[in-house]
Amino acid sequence: MSFTIHGAGVSGGIAIGRAQLASHALLEVAHYSVPKNKIRSEKARFDRAIKSVGKELKDLRKQMTADIPEAEFEAFINLHKMILEDSTLSEEPKKIIDSMNCNAEWALKLQLDNLLEQFSKIEDAYLRERKADVRQVAERVLKALLGRPGTNPLNSAEKNTIIVAHDMSPTDVILFKQHNYAGFITDLGGATSHTTIVARSLNIPSVVALHQARTLIRENELIIVDGTAGVVIVNPDEIILSEYEVLRKQWLLGQQKLKRLRRNRATTIDGADIELNANIELPEDVSSAKENGATGVGLFRTEFLFLNRGDLPSEDEQFEAYRHVVRDMKNSPITIRTFDLGADKQPDGFTRVAANPALGQRAIRLCLAEPRLFHHQLRAILRASQYGHIRILIPMLSNVHEIDQALHLIAEAKESLDVDGIKYDGEITIGGMIEVPAAALSIDSFLKKLDFVSIGTNDLIQYTLAIDRTDDAVAHLYDPLHPAILQLLSHIIGCANRANKPVAVCGEIAGDPSITRLLLGMGLRTFSMHPAHLLAVKQKVLTSDLREAATITKKILKAQHPDRIESLMYKLNTTS
């Protein structure tokens, strides 16, 4: 039976392929039968994996005490040890191996699904939150079973495979970067959740907030993903399929044409040069930034170096990552954002449960609470700064005291390098992300202390409109054209320009060509976005006239009603 599901398109284009139902990082789990005479050794293999994770947790204790409050860390290790040793995880899968004659990985996956379902029904919020811990421990066991992380028995089929998931953490999605899937769809997620942002960086047609896709779609069903319209068609009939095949070809052709703009300068009709930078999550992303002609890196989300691992990256490891990026991008400016951990990006080991994590100890707040962790990162960034042009960007500032404290800690990191006789760029510039309404409204005092600012519209919209970025139930309320957002953006850009301080936008709207002229009209000259969007935005810049954009933007800023804003936006985008 053919049917259509509607969601939010997050990465444009059309993919046609077979569904592969995914459950978190357990995507790589193969299912095969084990002959009766091998069951005993399969169970022994499972026991060995449990034992090796026990040792891993013990070793973790040695590695992590330096940077994490000891009591909290002990509690984390003890909890994970308890989960590991509980018979529901260490014994039940062996019963499944016995009863189903299946491999240990599959038995573990089935048992985990059971456990997660039971956890979802728990009313106590604290206990419900322990679901993530159970999953993390099971994933460790799975990795131990697989021996080599990253082994994927499905590799050859990836190009025709659409990943269908209920929920994914950004950590899960980042693993997909090593793969080559055709499309990606999930039930949960908002337009700017970090899961969605990483999904967008996979650069394949993607739709989120589908609510029921994981339940309605069966393994191996043929699906069309229209990432532009936010539509998924399951089991399409012949006519629909051939129509979409034509559309897909047209889309691919359009992508090819855009590639010709790679070396063009991004200059408006009236001769203004616009800087188009790339947002990256991992050092490897630099290749796609270069392929798409980025002027530099406008946002390196360094927290991704801290995810998907049992330990924390050392100063040396971070230094190598930053040096790799700065060298690879030659002399282009690289804006390294200090880690924005917390909220929906929790490294293993940070088990703090907050009722409202987005309003909790996140980003600079966490850095100031864990100054040793911050110190190592600052030293690593400063050390890398002697190899090119690095700028430091501080996330989620909400008051000037945080700026003073961050500047003080940067000065301390510099002093410690001086003592060690290690060189760094003494002129390194320090910027702040403007992504909290309080920062936007007090921008003048922020500009006095900072060398540059970058507007994080994903969070600015979340905090101004009071909509959780990760909650698909309120995803429809995400509105970058809300009059309040337009006023804040225009205020920040105007103040920064008047103060002669560089200002950029690095939230998802910077990569939306339908908003490019509005931002130009407000006076923005620097954009930072996912590399995949760069050429489409460049094409828009090349056909834009700044004076005309400014005239219509002024009218948009005076408009109060969404309908009026919409019709003026149409005018703005259809002139020239």
Is 458 an interacting residue with respect to ligand PEP (CB under 6 A)? yes
Q: Give the nearest distance from C-beta 360 to ligand PEP in angstroms.
A: 14
Nearer to ligand PEP, 76 or 339 (CB): 339
396 close to 362: Cβ distance less than 8 angstroms: yes
Q: Which of positions 101-130 make contact with ligand PEP (CB under 6 A)?
A: none
Query: What b/e readout covers 279-317, taking b as 16+ CB neighbours within 10 angstroms?
Result: bbbbbebbebbbebbbbbbbbbbbbbbbbbebbbbeeee
Q: Give the nearest distance from C-beta 117 to ligand PEP in angstroms.
A: 31
Catalytic residue numbers read 194, 506
The SS3 call for residue 285 is helix
Nearer to Mg ion, 402 or 435 (CB): 435
In the chain, how long is the greatest CA-to-CA distance? 79
Q: Give the nearest distance from C-beta 569 to Mg ion in angstroms.
A: 24
Q: Give the nearest distance from C-beta 480 to ligand PEP in angstroms.
A: 11
Q: Which stretch binds Mg ion (CB under 5 A): 178-186, 365-373, 458-466, 489-497?
A: 458-466
Tokens of 130: 């322990």
288 close to 277: Cβ distance less than 8 angstroms: no
200 close to 183: Cβ distance less than 8 angstroms: no
| Residue of 459, 468, 472, 512 that binds Mg ion (CB under 5 A) | 459
Tokens 């002609």 appear where?
293
Is 43 an interacting residue with respect to ligand PEP (CB under 6 A)? no
Task: HSE, CB side, 13 Å, CA atoms: give it for residue 151.
Answer: 12
Q: Which residues pair with 4 in a beta bridge?
A: 233
The SS3 call for residue 454 is strand
Q: Give the nearest distance from C-beta 530 to Mg ion in angstroms.
A: 14
Q: CA-based angle 344:345:351, to the nearest 5? A: 90
CA separation, residue 365 to residues 5, 68, 209 (Å):
40, 15, 30
DSSP assignment of 11-51 equals: E-SEEEEEEEEE-GGGGG----B--GGGHHHHHHHHHHHHH
| Residue of 205, 227, 296, 456 that binds ligand PEP (CB under 6 A) | 456
If contact means CB under 5 to 8 A according to the sort of partner, which of Mg ion, ligand PEP, none does residue 295 touch? none
Is 457 an interacting residue with respect to ligand PEP (CB under 6 A)? yes
Q: Which residues pair with 454 in a beta bridge?
A: 433, 504
Round to whole Å and give the CA distance between 26 and 213.
Answer: 18
Instruction: Write the burial class of residue 87 (CB in 10 Å: 0-12 exposed, 13-18 middle, 19+ buried).
Output: exposed
Pattern 480-509, ligand PEP, x by CB under 6 A: --------------------------xx--
Tokens of 238: 């012949």
Is 530 an interacting residue with respect to ligand PEP (CB under 6 A)? no
Q: Which stretch binds ligand PEP (CB under 6 A): 142-150, 346-354, 451-459, 564-572?
A: 451-459
CA separation, residue 211 to residues 167, 245, 548 (Å):
10, 26, 41
Q: Which stretch binds Mg ion (CB under 5 A): 188-196, 244-252, 403-411, 450-458?
A: 450-458
Q: Give the nearest distance from C-beta 174 to ligand PEP in angstroms.
A: 13
Q: Which of positions 144-203 make contact with ligand PEP (CB under 6 A)?
A: 197
Q: Give the nearest distance from C-beta 530 to ligand PEP in angstroms.
A: 11
Is 456 an interacting residue with respect to Mg ion (CB under 5 A)? yes
Pattern 328-367, ligand PEP, x by CB under 6 A: ------------x---------------------------
| Residue of 435, 472, 512, 548 that binds ligand PEP (CB under 6 A) | 435
φ, ψ dihedrals at 485, nearest 5°:
-70, -40
Q: Which of positions 273-302 make contact with ligand PEP (CB under 6 A)?
A: 299, 301
Q: Which of positions 237-276 make contact with ligand PEP (CB under 6 A)?
A: none
3-state helix/strand/coil string of 158-197: HHHEEEEECCCCHHHHHHHHHCCCCEEEECCCCCCCHHHH
Q: Give the nearest distance from C-beta 195 to ligand PEP in angstroms.
A: 11
Is 459 an interacting residue with respect to ligand PEP (CB under 6 A)? yes
Q: Which stretch binds ligand PEP (CB under 6 A): 44-52, 215-223, 311-319, 450-458?
A: 450-458
Is 533 an interacting residue with respect to ligand PEP (CB under 6 A)? no
The residues of the shown chain that bind ligand PEP, judged by CB under 6 A, are 197, 299, 301, 340, 435, 456-459, 506-507
State the residues that interact with Mg ion by CB under 5 A: 435, 456, 459
